[in-house]
């Protein structure tokens, strides 16, 4: 599988990344939508066999069980795998105390040590903050991450779920302090959710950051398993998340899915590879995080790495999914200026 540098840094990662949010039984937000230990190990084996050597987790996934499963599976494979995980949120159902969440120096350092223990490794290749923390000075968070890099426990730092202005602030502070910066950002991006194209994608271009995409199939909506006017199939993620299903069951989204399926029919493939291939042709995208509960689901997603969309395909998908950009983007674009 093709690899790319993570932004401007020297770390190379596979174009598809295996996401492990569904690994291990969860009692919290992923309850009812996860895979058991045996299935998770089978998917990990299938991913490595397919050339996916980039794996993404987080300490809160299945209350730590996702990282534990990875640690049990890695063993001698550790040198072959680029390992990414995250910190920010409280662990468990009760949420712990006031210092058991956020991006304070205390919590970042403690969370990293706990993740290293669960992952059974001496280092994390990419350690990411899971969301910005407006209650902690950015200097405090960045210095804590810098210390982890200097100690050899973390190779590179990244962020996820930031606003554009906070991302620019973080890059500027890192430069002024002469410390390690965020080399990548992990963002939600799909044909259904293109909001990141307003600020975050241009920021990646401006600062030379890697872009890792989460939810590229919009919680599975773009996989092709859902039908207009029908309830979500039993056992699917959107069947378990009824409020989320209501937000997806909209005419605009069905029209986007229709366009995806038209392109898929021309290429004699499934909807998921088309939706993923649309993202892979974006020059800013370093790697797409794909989730799978079975090796068969993973193989369908891997097909996206080989699918080459035509310019006409891309234009059709762009038109069908074009959002209302709003001010000042429409105003600037009206003068032919990129933003």
User: What is the pTM for the complete model shown?
Assistant: 0.94
Question: What's the pLDDT at 205?
Answer: 96
Q: Which residue's entry shows tokens 């773009």?
A: 222
Supply 77's token pair. Answer: 């494979």
d(CA 271, CA 267): 10
Cis peptide before 328 (omega within 30 of 0): yes
Q: Are 137 and 172 in contact (CB under 8 A)?
A: no
The dihedral through the CA atoms of 144, 145, 146, 147 has a sign that is positive
Helix (H, G, I), strand (E, B) or coil at 264: helix
Question: What's the pLDDT at 235?
Answer: 66
Residue 165 falls in the annotated catalytic set: no
Q: Which of 281, 288, 269, 283 is nearest to 317 (CA)?
A: 281
Q: Which residues have CB under 8 Å from 204's CB, separation 6+?
A: 7, 185, 210, 211, 284
Question: What's the pLDDT at 24?
Answer: 85
Q: Are 132 and 163 in contact (CB under 8 A)?
A: yes
Helix (H, G, I), strand (E, B) or coil at 263: helix
Supply 283's token pair. Answer: 């020059």
Domains of the chain: 3-220+281-306 (3.20.20.100)
Q: Count CB-CB contacts under 10 A for residue 274.
A: 27
DSSP state of 294: S
Q: Which residues have CB under 8 Å from 82's CB, separation 6+?
A: 11, 12, 13, 14, 53, 54, 55, 125, 126
Instruction: Walk along the chain (339 residues) and give the pLDDT tens digit of each residue.
Output: 999 999 999 999 999 999 999 998 766 655 556 788 999 999 999 999 999 999 999 999 999 999 999 999 999 999 999 999 999 999 976 778 999 999 999 999 999 999 999 999 999 999 999 999 999 999 999 999 999 999 999 999 999 999 999 999 999 999 999 999 999 999 999 999 999 999 999 999 999 999 999 999 998 899 888 888 787 777 676 766 677 777 888 999 999 999 999 999 999 999 999 999 999 999 999 999 999 888 988 998 898 888 999 999 999 999 999 999 999 999 999 999 988
């Amino acid at each position: 599988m093709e690899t790319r540098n993570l932004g401007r840094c020297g770390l190379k990662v596979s174009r598809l990344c295996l996401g492990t949010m569904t690994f291990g039984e969860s009692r919290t937000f992923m309850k009812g939508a996860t895979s058991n230990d045996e299935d998770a190990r089978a998917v990990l084996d299938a991913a490595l066999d397919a050339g996916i050597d980039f794996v993404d987790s987080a300490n809160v996934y299945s209350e730590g069980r996702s990282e534990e499963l990875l640690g049990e599976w890695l063993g001698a494979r550790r040198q072959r795998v680029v390992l990414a995980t995250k910190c920010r949120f409280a662990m468990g159902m009760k949420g712990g105390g006031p210092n058991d969440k956020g991006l304070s120096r205390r919590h970042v350092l403690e969370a990293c040590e706990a993740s290293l223990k669960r992952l059974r490794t001496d280092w994390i290749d990419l350690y990411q903050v899971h969301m910005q923390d407006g209650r902690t000075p950015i200097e405090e968070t960045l210095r804590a991450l810098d210390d982890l890099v200097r100690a050899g426990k973390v190779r590179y730092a990244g962020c996820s779920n930031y606003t554009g202005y906070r991302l620019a602030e973080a890059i500027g502070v890192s430069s002024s302090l002469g410390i390690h910066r965020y080399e990548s950002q992990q963002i939600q991006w799909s044909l259904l959710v293109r909001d990141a194209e307003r600020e975050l994608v241009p920021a990646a271009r401006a600062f030379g950051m890697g872009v890792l995409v989460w939810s590229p199939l919009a919680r599975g909506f773009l996989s092709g398993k859902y039908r207009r006017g029908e309830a979500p199939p039993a056992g699917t993620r959107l069947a378990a998340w009824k409020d989320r299903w209501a937000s997806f069951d909209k005419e605009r989204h069905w029209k986007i899915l229709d366009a995806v399926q038209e392109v898929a029919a021309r290429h004699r493939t499934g909807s998921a590879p088309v939706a993923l291939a649309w993202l892979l042709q974006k020059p800013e995208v370093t790697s797409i995080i794909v989730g799978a509960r079975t090796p068969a689901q993973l193989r369908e997603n891997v097909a996206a790495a080989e699918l080459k969309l035509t310019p006409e395909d891309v234009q059709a998908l762009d038109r069908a999914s074009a959002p209302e950009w709003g001010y000042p983007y429409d105003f600037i674009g009206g003068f032919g200026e990129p933003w």
